Amino acid sequence: MGFGANKVVSYFHDQDVGNFHYGPLHPMKPQRLAVTHSLVLHYGMYKKMQVYRPYRASAHDMCRFHSEDYIEFLQRVSPQNIQAFSKCLGQFNVGDDCPVFDGLFDFCSMYTGASLEGATKLNHGSTDIAINWSGGLHHAKKFEASGFCYVNDIVIAILELLKYHPRVLYIDIDIHHGDGVQEAFYLTDRVMTVSFHKYGNYFFPGTGDMYEIGAECGRYYSVNIPLKEGIDDQSYLQVFKPVIQYVMEFYQPTAIVLQCGADSLANDRLGCFNLSTKGHGECVKFVKDFNVPLLVLGGGGYTLRNVARCWTYETSLLVDEGISNELPYNEYFEYFAPDFSLHPDVVTRQENANSKQYLETITKTIHENLRMIEHAPSVMMQDVPPDLLNFEEAEELDPDVRLHQQEEDKRIEPDNEYYDGEKDQDKDGTTADS
């Protein structure tokens, strides 16, 4: 794909994905996706992207990674029949952290399908950057749920990318270790996993030591950056930028998946880092500027208003659109009191326990490990399996045409759908003050 100033950005949002409830006391709030989408629309960023209502993944798609009995359980269990599945709850780690709620399988189908479609569009060269804020559920394992995650959309999307890409790089900036993705690709050099996370003091999930480096063919292809509480923008970027620079030089990936968990922001309900939205966003911009096909996903994030701010800002970086610090009026405006700004001041709750020397030691160790790998491993020529998604295209699309009519027909809204200007017929005449 030609990467110029005008990258094609595809944005996937299912309007139903924000309506699910893990439970009244549960920290995971899918509503954050609806709030993020509202901000993205009210800032007018839909004009800079192809906005799609995504494909919904089938059980067959999910079984590309997960076991059939686990996916069948997710399809059949509900709050109404949970007693009948009582023996399976422990087996599949479903209960407190990962509760059974109404529409559970549909929720998994929506966020997984969007990641899968994003990967497929990247494979076909019909987009340069694909965004799915509902995805990034990195803890789910082959046989079980874990850490609020049921289906590992990331692993399924990477498996799709591997049909066309010899080397895929996975980067995780969630505060929690990307254990499910690391585990899935621990024995292969086709995927390098790089996770920046809080480690120690029994912090979930308890994995992600610097010496977890992969095994067999995957030795040195798992990269872990264990951080201590209180890390701020300056310290985080001090380790993030050189590590990613080394990884890009040594590994030379042909596609990147970036998990942007927002629980690494300051004042997160479950987190203990001190990143600002600008610091978090700087990581996204740094990765984007390598000009490699990029799938951008959400992840954790439990202070709803800050998650929405962060992912809205990062959407603006991905479409190269400067947006105002003053939030546009929207249906969730009161969530952002008292400042109503995109970049609120960071109030630090914890001292930064990461010394400059500690971060330099990590960076040096990782650099030494990366020097052990075969420079940019290659893949033998082989038949490419059929796409998991074929989008029901009867004929092959002309590769020299970026936007085909079939593509246009799948767009979530026609270009004239959104209110933009004074001639909108649906305006009800009310103002922000009324």
Q: Are 77 and 100 in contact (CB under 8 A)?
A: yes
Residue 332 has a CB neighbour count (10 Å cut-off) of: 18
- Closest by Cα among 342, 296, 307 to 42: 342
Q: Is 339 annotated as a binding residue?
A: no
Q: Is 263 annotated as a binding residue?
A: yes
- In this structure, the strands spanning 222-227 and 129-132 are unpaired
Distance CA 93, CA 96 (A): 9
Q: Is 302 annotated as a binding residue?
A: yes
- The contacts of residue 115 (CB under 8 Å, 6+ apart) are 132, 135, 136, 153, 154, 156, 157, 295, 297
Question: Could you please report the per-residue DSSP string of 133-166?
Answer: TT---TT--SS--BTTBSS-HHHHHHHHHTTT-S
- The DSSP 8-state label assigned to residue 50 in this structure reads E
Question: Could you please report the per-residue DSSP string of 159-187?
Answer: HHHTTT-S-EEEEE-SSS--HHHHHHTTT
**Choice among 13, 66, 138, 139 that is catalytic:** 139
User: Six-digit token pair at 413?
Assistant: 């809204």
Distance CA 117, CA 407 (A): 12
Kindly tell me the number of DSSP H helices and DSSP E strands found in the chain: 12, 8
Q: Is 16 annotated as a binding residue?
A: no
Q: Is 345 annotated as a binding residue?
A: no
User: Six-digit token pair at 277?
Assistant: 């939205």
Q: Is 176 annotated as a binding residue?
A: yes
Q: Is 139 known to be catalytic?
A: yes
- Distances 171 to 243, 270, 283, 330, 393 between C-alpha atoms, Å: 11, 21, 10, 32, 32
User: Six-digit token pair at 314?
Assistant: 């990062």
User: Hey, which residues are catalytic here?
Assistant: 139
**What residue numbers does the annotated binding site for substrate cover?**
97, 147, 302
**What residue numbers does the annotated binding site for a divalent metal cation cover?**
174, 176, 263
